[in-house]
Amino acid sequence: MNQPSRGRKVAFWLLVGMISVVFVEVPAGSTMFPFFTVWGMLVVLPLYLLHSVFLAGLVFRFGRPGFWPLFAAGMLYGMYEAYITKVLWTSFRPEGPFMTVGGIAIFETILLVFFLHPILAFVVPLFFTELLCTNSSEIAEGLPGWVQVSLRKHPGRWIGLLMAFLGFMQFINSPSVTKSLLSGAGNSLVLGLALLWWRRSGGASWSLRELLPGARGMKIFGWLLLIFYVFWGIAIKPSSIPGILKGQLTILVLYAVLLVVFVWSLRRSRAEAAKPKGLGEDRLLAFTWRGFVLACAVATVVTTVSRLLLFPFALLQALVLFSFYVLAGLLLFTGSVIYAGRLRGARLQADGSSTTGE
């Protein structure tokens, strides 16, 4: 089959960005109407599009899209909250950070870098992008075995729970019941119309791998991302960037650690690489319009009803979710380090065996 055209790829990259925004910015309540505001279309959407496509391109080109390599890439994704938004230093709370360690807001960093962005801005949206927009399922096939088994047995249950969770996330930051309803319905409509055009025009005939940028495209994305960082790093609260010893050094060390984890994860995934699966009829999950509509309906109903009935308990909801994000983030970060470190350990053991043999 012919390779997708440049225009086709650009359209796909827009969908990647849209789906990423819908899974993290909308549920978090940070940008409830990303497709209906100038800020959403000119800042939020490009931010997520550039990160998602570039990092996915790196994983697919230099490794295998298993869960842990994608998660490692997602942690680097979350680091934009340092030099672009400055949240890793100043917190997203008006009162400031819960606690600072080494000049950074430690709990906010764990939440954003180890959980929210890797999972809800990157891994989960890419999983659904491949399901909704392509004929492949490499990401699904790269999930842990127990997750694959559970998804095959109860796909509707798990996707429904995820949508309900996303809806439940949003209500604490929603200004009104009406805004909750309009956010869910409006964003679902825009995404649904985009998917309708994509699928009817034959876009789902290609694999995710084929629709990602080539070598030249990756260079362009890299430069665009760098320009984006420089521009918005200066445009958004530049005075909030601390001195080297007052917070920047900690962020730079964290960047270095995450880069090492990412590179080692890619190397291990290459060692485990197998022939891509999930093409054609052997997919873990199959797209249906009924499933898409039901998923959007669940998220919209849950966020609307939660805002209507549970808002008096918003503080409790925030405490429970915040605790869950931090605990899950720490566990996932530990898992990613163990995954990446096993390759290093295996190499050291192999080198030791070679020396002993000599």
Beta carbons of 254 and 88 less than 8 angstroms apart = no
The answer to whether residue 277 scores a pLDDT higher than 60 is no
Please report, rounded to a whole number, the percentage of residues in the chain having pLDDT higher than 70. 92
Distance CA 52, CA 48 (A): 6
Q: At what angle do helices 6-28 and 124-133 cross, to 10 degrees?
A: 140
Q: What is the mean pLDDT of the chain?
A: 91
pLDDT digits (tens, 9 = 90+) for 171-229: 888 899 999 999 999 999 999 999 999 999 999 999 999 999 999 999 999 999 999 99
Choose among 234, 40, 203: nearest CA to 134.
203
Cα dihedral 341, 347, 349, 353, rounded to 10, equals 180
Tokens of 337: 């380090």
What average pLDDT does this structure show over 17-46? 95
pLDDT for the residue numbered 344: 57
Q: Considering only 108-112, 347-351, 353-357, which range has the smallest mean pLDDT?
A: 353-357
Quote the strand ranges of 152-241, DSSP E.
none
pLDDT for the residue numbered 282: 63
pLDDT for the residue numbered 285: 82
- Domain ranges, ordered by start, for the chain: 6-342
Which residues make Cβ contacts (< 8 Å) with residue 105, sequence separation at least 6?
87, 88, 89, 90, 91, 96, 97, 98, 99
Tokens of 11: 């359209």
pLDDT for the residue numbered 1: 56
Is the C-alpha dihedral spanning 169, 171, 175, 176 positive or negative?
positive
pTM of the model: 0.92
What average pLDDT does this structure show over 70-77? 98
DSSP states of 100-161 as a string? EETTEEHHHHHHIIIIIIIIIIIIHHHHHHHHHH-S--HHHHTS-HHHHHHHHH-HHHHHHH
From first CA to last CA, the distance across the chain in angstroms is 52
CA-CA distances (angstroms) from residue 120 to 37, 48, 248, 274?
A: 22, 11, 26, 26
pLDDT digits (tens, 9 = 90+) for 238-260: 999 999 999 999 999 999 999 99
The answer to whether residue 348 scores a pLDDT higher than 50 is no
Choose among 228, 225, 229: nearest CA to 217.
225
DSSP states of 301-352 as a string? HHHHHHHHHSGGGHHHHHHHHHHHHHHHHHHHHHHHHHHHHHHHHHHHHHHH
pLDDT for the residue numbered 286: 84
Please report, rounded to a whole number, the percentage of residues in the chain having pLDDT higher than 90. 80
Beta carbons of 20 and 49 less than 8 angstroms apart = yes
Distance CA 340, CA 235 (A): 36
pLDDT for the residue numbered 357: 46
Distance CA 208, CA 196 (A): 18
Distance CA 236, CA 230 (A): 10
Angle at the Cα of 131 from the Cα atoms of 128 and 134, rounded to 5 degrees? 125
By three-state DSSP, how is residue 11 classified? helix
What average pLDDT does this structure show over 302-327? 92
pLDDT digits (tens, 9 = 90+) for 98-148: 899 999 999 999 999 999 999 999 999 999 999 999 999 999 999 998 999
- The model's confidence at residue 72, banded by pLDDT at 50, 70 and 90, is very high
pLDDT for the residue numbered 278: 46
What average pLDDT does this structure show over 318-339? 96
Read off the DSSP letter of residue 206. Answer: S
| Residue 101 dihedral angles phi and psi, to the nearest 5° | -135, 120
